[in-house]
Amino acid sequence: MAKLKKKYTEGASRMYTTRNRALKKLQVSLQDFRRLCILKGIYPVEPRSRKQANRGSTKLTTFYYSRDIQLLLSEPLMQRFREHKTFLRKLQHALAKDDLTRARAMDRQRPTYTLNHLVLERYPQFGDALADLDDALCMVFLFATMPVGAEQQLSQDVAAECRALAAEFQHYVVHARALRKVFLSIKGIYYQAEIQGTPVTWIVPYQFSQRVPDDVDFKVMATFLQFYRTLLRFVNFRLFTGANLAYPPALDAAMDDGGAGLGAFKVAARRVEDLIARNDAGGSEELPARSDADGSEDPAVAQRMQTLGAKIQALVASAPAAA
């Protein structure tokens, strides 16, 4: 006699899962589940038959792929979120007992996490990151011009980082002469640049005082911004190193305070190929040495950079003989 099949073990009911079943399986809150889905790039789907996917029920609900929820079980961020909740509970307990010494010590040991592994996971190739760079640039440029406040989920450090990332990307576009189109609209200024054959389009708001709307969920936007900041740091580093530029670029504080804009950045090249080319030229061409933010040159670093080219060239010449 053939073995009887159980209901809802194959087909659409197995391929899709509801949000409530996902929360029960992951043992996380709805807020943490939304953050995980945004950071991991998991979005709701629409099955062909909602009744079959919902195991015979016609109730309106949100569906996800079961394999995506299964991947979240092994996500390291889930453990980081749990550690952060435990930390907040202990911190509130210390504050409730008016133990300020313990609260300050705990705050200095606040658990942190990074999203570097998510960027490498979602964009295994650099071209994939460039193709998805439009939304990241729009979000970063938007928060770079927004007022700082608790309602906007925007701190002073995050706003400063957004302005720095936006200025670094603009610096690369100017250096590489990659700008192709500019369009003025009522929303802002649209820019389009061609980076390694990929068109990248973003919008920059006008420098006016902005009225922050009340019907926008800034918590969701802050989660997107957290991931986009990490992505743009990776992209800027790759673009600068590929263009033979030092990253992060040196910034002249005096010129920046004077409103120089992108002119406050200093262009500096740092690659081994430059040292070898200088050594092949007989040392007649001076190599730009690393300088501090105030423009002063470090003599020790300059001396090491002058001798490094000769050492590398000697190692390259002796490699065939050693083989």
pLDDT of residue 211: 77
84's CB contacts (< 8 A; 6+ apart) are 111
Is the confidence at residue 293, as pLDDT, over 50?
no
Tens digits of per-residue pLDDT, 134-192?
999 999 999 988 887 766 667 888 888 998 899 999 989 998 999 999 999 998 999 99
Is the confidence at residue 250, as pLDDT, over 70?
yes
Dig out the tokens for 301 from the structure.
């670093």
User: Structure pTM?
Assistant: 0.75
CB 188 within 8 A of CB 206: yes
CB 21 within 8 A of CB 65: no
Side-chain half-sphere of 168: how many Cα atoms within 13 Å? 26
**Which stretch, 82-86, 150-154, 210-214, has highest mean pLDDT?**
82-86
> Lowest-pLDDT range, 136-150, 193-207, 274-288?
274-288
pLDDT of residue 134: 94
Average pLDDT over residues 268-295: 51
**What's the angle, vertex CA 309, arms to CA 306 and CA 312, rounded to 5?**
145
Side-chain half-sphere of 179: how many Cα atoms within 13 Å? 13
Residue 16: is it exposed, middle or buried by C-beta count within 10 angstroms (0-12/13-18/19+)? buried
CA distance 313 to 308: 9
Average pLDDT over residues 58-76: 89
CA distance 78 to 24: 14
**Residue 295 — pLDDT band, cuts 50, 70, 90?**
very low
Is the confidence at residue 76, as pLDDT, over 70?
yes
CB 41 within 8 A of CB 47: no
Tens digits of per-residue pLDDT, 17-44?
999 999 999 988 899 999 999 999 999 9
pLDDT of residue 290: 43
Query: 68: closest CA among 125, 22, 28, 115?
Result: 22
**Average pLDDT of the residues of the chain:** 81
Side-chain half-sphere of 20: how many Cα atoms within 13 Å? 4
**Position 245, amino acid:** L
pLDDT of residue 130: 93
